[in-house]
Amino acid sequence: MDQRHDLELILRSRTPIVVIETQDEARILDLLQAMTLGSRDDGYLPLFRWTVTDGLQRLDIELAPQTLNSEPSDVLKHIRAVDKPGVYILLDFHPFLDDPVHVRLIKDICIGGPGIRRQLVLISHKIKLPSELESYSARVNLSLPNETERQRIIERVADEWSGENQGSRVQADARAYRLLIENLAGLTYKDTERLARNAIYQDGAITRSDLPGVMQAKYELLNRGGALAFEYDTAKFSEVGGLERLKTWLAQRKAAFRRDPEAVHLDAPKGILLLGIQGCGKSLAAKATAGVFGVPLLRLDFGSLYDKYHGETERKLRESLNTADVMSPCVLWIDEIEKGIAGRGGETGTTQRVLGTFLTWLAEKQTRVFVVATANDITTLPPELVRKGRFDEIFFVDLPDDDVRAKIFRIHLDSRGQAPASFDVPALAKATQGFSGAEIEQAIVSALYAAHAKGEELKTQHIAHEIRNTKPLSVVMAERVSAMRLWADGRTVSAG
């Protein structure tokens, strides 16, 4: 109702050009028709619609389209020549605004006789007016469906399903129903209705199993730039060996992030920065965080943001962050963040602008987007990113100890159909001192290949042989690993 009121005020103000950028074309046409029909006794104006395919057609009464006015120049000349008031909706006129003849014709309509009330309503997904027409225009920003409107859309779709199924009622889990209303936020009316219909018409019910599909479809509608990736299957936290302090920290904040009734008085957590040695589980922990919170995981690839054209990199970043905001609640995983905001040779100006855009968003965001940023090289991160307050906490992921390495062996053996009890796991764990989780996994994979080539079942000795032939990163780059540990001591919280 507020949007209708705002639109009515602009139309009554006799602004010559009204610009509406929207994907909900059908909705705005219905709104304009309802306003026209509802004002017959108070400043009634005929309502026309133009498309390049059908020409000009009157909407407030049933009249056939005027196909002779299908060309942009013809319809503008017709409107300029008409000596009666009217509202003319021009759909998808934006490609024709580059023509100087069209611009002059529109300007003639705007400055025409003061006694003739003619208004142009330009509707498209994106409209850039020439500068000489800006002073004659006003823009109407239509908000997306709010919570109440989303609920009504879902209820209407449910009623449609009942009508098509002999009055059967849609079965709905109360928690799943509330989550569906919440997760459809940020979509147009048309897309909200379509995704609600997909969820309900599949089985005549609203259950939690519907939500992952809804969120993936929503992501596909929103992500146009390609810098964000939707991680459909998030890892269970049981798949992460060690990181007990991080697990506890996340578990303590789960209720606050999800806005559970018992935690509504708590501030929602903002995010964490995971530093550490390569292959020690930072990426897996980021995936598992989404699993703990029970929300979608988006991965932002900073490398794909950078563009040779001035301003495009920052625009892509803003669009990606806006998509994350609309997808909330979600986890935004920024892998190897130092590669995107550390110095990039001659691109330092762009890098600084990208860093500023990201930090501003991080400080001002009001949505429930939990950021998990991972980094391997702390020395290249700018000080303004790692200072206290940017993230809720900075965790250091170190090399696993004996107990954690044993757990990692059991996890990877079990995931490959090998019974951990058939192996001397304690001995293998002791032999892999200084190994990362990724290096342990690779030793098992290599041992499986070797055993298969010999036609043998995988045994402890196969894995031990691969371990002896492996030089872990902690040995190959011992100085760098030691320096990283020294820096983290006292500056970060141990994740283990």
CATH architecture group of domain 402-476: Orthogonal Bundle (1.10)
Exposed, middle or buried: residue 421 (CB in 10 Å: 0-12, 13-18, 19+)?
exposed
Tens digit of pLDDT for each residue in 125-134? 889 999 999 9
Q: Which fold has domain 147-222?
A: Helicase, Ruva Protein; domain 3 (1.10.8)
Indicate whether 154 pLDDT > 80.
yes
Whether residue 18 contacts residue 11, with contact meaning beta carbons closer than 8 Å, is answered with yes
237-397: which CATH topology? Rossmann fold (3.40.50)
What pLDDT is attached to residue 452?
A: 93
In this structure, what DSSP letter does residue 86 have? E
8 Å CB contact between 292 and 197: no
Residue 342, pLDDT > 70, answer no
Domains 2-140 and 237-397 agree in fold: yes
The CATH topology of domain 2-140 is Rossmann fold (3.40.50)
pLDDT for 243 equals 81
Mean pLDDT confidence for 5-19: 83
Report the alpha-carbon distance of residue 393 to residue 370 in Å, rounded: 12
Residue with tokens 């208004």: 119
303 HSE (CA, 13 A, CB side): 4
DSSP H or E run through 334: strand 330-334
**Is residue 423's pLDDT more than 80?**
yes
- The pTM of the whole model exceeds 0.75: no
Residue 74, pLDDT > 70, answer: yes
Report d(CA 16, CA 135) in Å as an integer. Answer: 10
Comparing 17-31, 62-76, 303-317, 349-363, the range with the smallest average pLDDT is 303-317
pLDDT band at 99 (very low <50, low <70, confident <90, very high): very high
Determine whether 468 is exposed, middle or buried from the number of CB atoms within 10 Å of its CB (0-12, 13-18, 19+).
exposed
Here the tokens at position 149 are 């409107």
1: pLDDT strictly greater than 80:
no
Write the pLDDT tens digit of every residue in 430-465.
Answer: 999 999 888 999 999 999 999 999 999 999 999 999
Confidence of residue 384 (pLDDT cuts 50, 70, 90): confident
Q: What is the pLDDT of residue 344?
A: 46
User: Which residues 6+ apart lie within 8 Å of 420 measured at CB?
Assistant: 409, 410, 413, 414
Average pLDDT over residues 137-162: 87
Closest CA to 488 of 391, 347, 376, 382: 376
pLDDT the model gives residue 94: 93
pLDDT, mean of residues 384-412: 87
Of 117-126, 362-371, 383-392, 398-407, the range with the lowest mean pLDDT is: 383-392
Question: What is the predicted pLDDT for the residue at 224?
Answer: 61
Instruction: Give the torsion sign (CA, 278, 281, 284, 290).
Output: negative
pLDDT classification of 42: cutoffs 50, 70, 90: low
Where exactly are the structural domains of the chain? 2-140, 147-222, 237-397, 402-476
Mean pLDDT rounded to a whole number for the chain: 84
Residues β-bridged to residue 372: 272, 333
Quick: pLDDT tens for 224-254.
656 778 776 666 665 676 788 888 899 899 9
